């Protein structure tokens, strides 16, 4: 069970106060009515399984239970007190003390996953991992129903507190591997009234934690009437409210657009492969990455897999070092280049997806991947696959961009989006840079390796870019703090612990 996290600055009666109001208060009732409108047909299916992530004091689970459609009810929360209150309300629910980034349930085990007023609090370092977890536990036909706070323009007031606009929420969910079925603001009328009185969603502080206070008769009458009207309006599939301090989304797991990186690297195969020979900073980084991977792997014999092998530069070198090499790549042309480079291993160099490796468990001594994980749709799944195919005691050597480095931040946040925009208007020349799915910091990436059961042994920073090669080489050799700060790539070596005998 996950450790309980510190909830800072919550009043001692926080959960009991919510528990007291959430069954009857017009705001909670209205929010559930709106959720019901969005879920529509999904609430008509029998024998479903639902997970409420951040279930709080159990009001939502109790409501879902009352629909009679759920054979399995589950909830997780990071507060033991909240779980106790949920248990009192829904004694048959499976409950666990856990956060969204480590959901203790099996893959594809829920038809519905709910996330109410939780997304805005997820620390930004854990956002990608949390969305991947939500998607992992959802059945391919299932849906995520999400409620968070909303505004016209997104705002980030703290690493663990944000307000979303529809565009940002949509982009976040799509990056996490979801397709949006519905997205709408809610609570429009009362939010407009609030705005007039200078009220907008704000960072929880000593005086406010977003718990609606006790409501008088008039407030209840008006509030429930207005939210009831919004719920009725939203029953129609094509309607959305353009304003409100609450945002709802209904999203389903996206089918995997496998063609993305495959098509891109088909087109770019020869050009990319030639960069290895170039005297540019890019060429320097590729050669440095290859040399580092080779050094970390060492000499054979043994079985090694290169996942996302590109044109086969690394497999060729590993073959020279006495390894029995296998390689996969999603791009047909990259595979053809690799086969041409190492014809004697032709049969073992084939097309394949690093998120679904076509190999049995534990059949390699080493799995290496350089420059490929950043294109994975489901990074956790890809790391899980690399771990699965190495034997206990075997190693995983993986490169990953340092998305916290100033150069990479500028490249991902400014340069690539600008190029994509221009190419959309005038699609000439080279294809647009591939969107990256997971802009994780090195620490968050290392945590994912550890979450897959690997033990990180060494991290080699590579770079810096975009300095001219001569300067870059000097910095890289110096091993100085400056070199580390300017590094744009990391090569990490980790091992899968040998099983206890
Ligand atoms: C930047 S290149 C790196 C190639 C080589 N590993 C290297 O270090 O030079 C990325 C490679 O990953 C491959 N790739 C991207 N997504 C993949 C996936 N899901 N499964 C397998 N290969 C993938 C691309 O086709 C491409 O050849």
CATH of the domain at 240: 3.40.50.150
Q: Are strands 94-97 and 70-77 parallel, antiparallel or unpaired?
A: parallel
Report the C-alpha gap between 112 and 133 in whole angstroms: 13
Confidence of residue 421 (pLDDT cuts 50, 70, 90): confident
Which of 308, 312, 333, 370 gets mutated to test ligand 1 (max ligand atoms within 8 A of its CB)? 308
Residue 388 has a pLDDT of 96
Report the C-alpha gap between 273 and 268 in whole angstroms: 8
Hey, what are 427's tokens? 């699609």
Report the C-alpha gap between 199 and 76 in whole angstroms: 31
Q: Indicate whether 266 and 359 sit together in one domain.
A: yes
- The number of distinct structural domains making up the chain is 2
Report the C-alpha gap between 298 and 322 in whole angstroms: 10
Flag whether pLDDT at 425 surpasses 80. Answer: no
Q: Indicate whether 159 and 271 sit together in one domain.
A: no
Residue 432 has a pLDDT of 58
Q: Indicate whether 192 and 329 sit together in one domain.
A: no
Q: Which residues line ligand 1 (CB under 6 A)?
A: 261-262, 265, 308-310, 313, 328-331, 334, 353-355, 370-372, 375-376
Q: Indicate whether 194 and 310 sit together in one domain.
A: no
- Of all protein residues, the one whose alpha carbon is nearest to atom 8 of ligand 1 is 370
Q: Indicate whether 312 and 421 sit together in one domain.
A: yes
- Of all protein residues, the one whose alpha carbon is nearest to atom 25 of ligand 1 is 331
Task: Name the average pLDDT for the chain.
Answer: 86
Residue 8 inside a domain? The answer is: no
3-class state of residue 206 by DSSP: coil
For residue 179, what are the β-bridge partners?
A: 252
Q: Indicate whether 264 and 191 sit together in one domain.
A: no
Going from the Cα of 317 to the center of ligand 1, the distance in angstroms, rounded, reads 17
Closest ligand 1 atom, residue 328 Cα: 21
Residue 207 inside a domain? The answer is: no
Residue 345 has a pLDDT of 95
pLDDT (average), residues 235-263? 81
- Tokens 């705005």: give the residue: 195
Report the C-alpha gap between 380 and 500 in whole angstroms: 25
Q: Indicate whether 274 and 218 sit together in one domain.
A: no
Confidence of residue 384 (pLDDT cuts 50, 70, 90): very high
Closest ligand 1 atom, residue 258 Cα: 19
Residue 5 inside a domain? The answer is: no
Domain that holds residue 242: 14-200+212-253
- Of all protein residues, the one whose alpha carbon is nearest to atom 9 of ligand 1 is 310
- What stretch of H or E contains 82? helix 80-89
Hey, what are 191's tokens? 């939010």
User: Among 153-162, 249-258, 282-291, 337-346, which stretch is predicted with the lowest mean pLDDT?
Assistant: 249-258
Going from the Cα of 308 to the center of ligand 1, the distance in angstroms, rounded, reads 4
The 3-state secondary structure of 37-61 reads HHHHHHHHCCCEEEEEECCCCCHHH
Flag whether pLDDT at 214 surpasses 50. Answer: yes
Q: Indicate whether 248 and 336 sit together in one domain.
A: no
Residue 423 has a pLDDT of 67
Q: What are the tens digits of pLDDT across the range 389-405?
A: 999 999 999 999 888 77
Backbone phi, psi, residue 452, to 5°: -80, 0
Residue 501 inside a domain? The answer is: no
Q: Indicate whether 387 and 246 sit together in one domain.
A: no
End residue of a domain, out of 253, 281, 314: 253
Q: Indicate whether 151 and 28 sit together in one domain.
A: yes
Helices (H), 345-399: 379-389
Q: Indicate whether 374 and 490 sit together in one domain.
A: yes
Residue 1 has a pLDDT of 31
Sequential DSSP letters for 267-329:
HHHHHHHHHTT--SHHHHHHHHHHHHHHHHH---SSEEEEET-TTSHHHHHHHHTT-EEEEEE
């Amino acid at each position: 069970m996950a450790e309980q996290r510190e909830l800072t600055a919550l009043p001692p009666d926080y959960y009991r106060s919510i528990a007291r109001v959430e069954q009857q208060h017009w705001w909670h009732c209205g929010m559930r009515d709106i959720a019901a409108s969005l879920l529509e047909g999904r609430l008509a299916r029998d024998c479903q399984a639902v997970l409420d992530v951040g279930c709080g004091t159990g009001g939502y689970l109790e409501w879902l239970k009352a629909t009679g459609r759920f054979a399995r009810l589950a909830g997780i929360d990071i507060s033991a007190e909240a779980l106790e209150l949920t248990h009192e309300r829904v004694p048959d629910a499976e409950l666990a003390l856990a956060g969204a980034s480590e959901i203790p349930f099996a893959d594809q085990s829920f038809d519905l996953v709910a996330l109410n007023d939780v997304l805005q609090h997820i620390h930004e370092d854990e956002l990608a991992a949390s969305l991947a977890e939500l998607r992992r536990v959802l059945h391919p036909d299932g849906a995520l129903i999400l409620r968070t706070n909303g505004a016209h323009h997104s705002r980030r007031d703290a690493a663990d507190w944000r307000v979303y606009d529809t565009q940002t929420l949509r982009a976040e969910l799509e990056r996490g591997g979801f397709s949006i079925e519905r997205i709408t603001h809610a609570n429009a009328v009362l939010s407009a009234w609030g705005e007039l009185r200078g009220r907008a969603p704000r960072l929880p502080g000593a005086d406010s934690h977003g718990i609606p206070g006790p409501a008088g008769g008039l407030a209840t009458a008006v509030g429930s009437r207005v939210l009831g009207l919004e719920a009725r309006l939203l029953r129609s599939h094509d309607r959305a409210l353009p304003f409100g301090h609450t945002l709802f989304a209904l999203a389903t797991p996206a089918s995997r657009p496998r063609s993305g990186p495959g098509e891109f690297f088909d087109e770019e195969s020869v050009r990319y492969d030639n960069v290895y020979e170039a005297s540019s900073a890019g060429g320097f980084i590729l050669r440095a990455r290859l040399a580092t991977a080779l050094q970390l792997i060492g000499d054979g014999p043994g079985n090694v897999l290169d996942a996302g092998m590109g044109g086969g530069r690394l497999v060729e070198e590993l073959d020279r070092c006495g390894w029995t090499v296998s390689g996969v790549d999603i791009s047909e042309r990259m595979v053809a280049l690799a086969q041409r480079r190492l014809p004697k291993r032709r049969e073992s160099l084939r097309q394949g997806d690093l998120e679904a490796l076509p190999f049995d468990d534990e059949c390699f001594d080493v799995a290496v991947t350089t420059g490929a994980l950043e294109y994975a749709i489901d990074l956790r799944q890809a790391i899980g696959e690399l771990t699965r195919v190495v034997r206990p005691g075997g190693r995983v050597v993986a490169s990953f961009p340092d998305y916290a480095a100033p150069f990479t931040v500028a490249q991902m946040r400014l340069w690539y989006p600008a190029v994509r925009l221009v190419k959309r208007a005038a699609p000439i020349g080279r294809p647009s840079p591939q969107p990256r799915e997971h802009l994780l910091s090195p620490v968050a990436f290392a945590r994912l390796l550890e979450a897959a059961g690997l033990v990180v042994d060494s991290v080699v920073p590579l770079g810096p870019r975009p300095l001219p090669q001569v300067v870059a080489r000097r910095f890289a050799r110096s091993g100085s703090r400056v070199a580390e700060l300017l590094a744009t790539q990391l090569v990490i070596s980790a091992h899968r612990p040998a099983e206890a005998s």
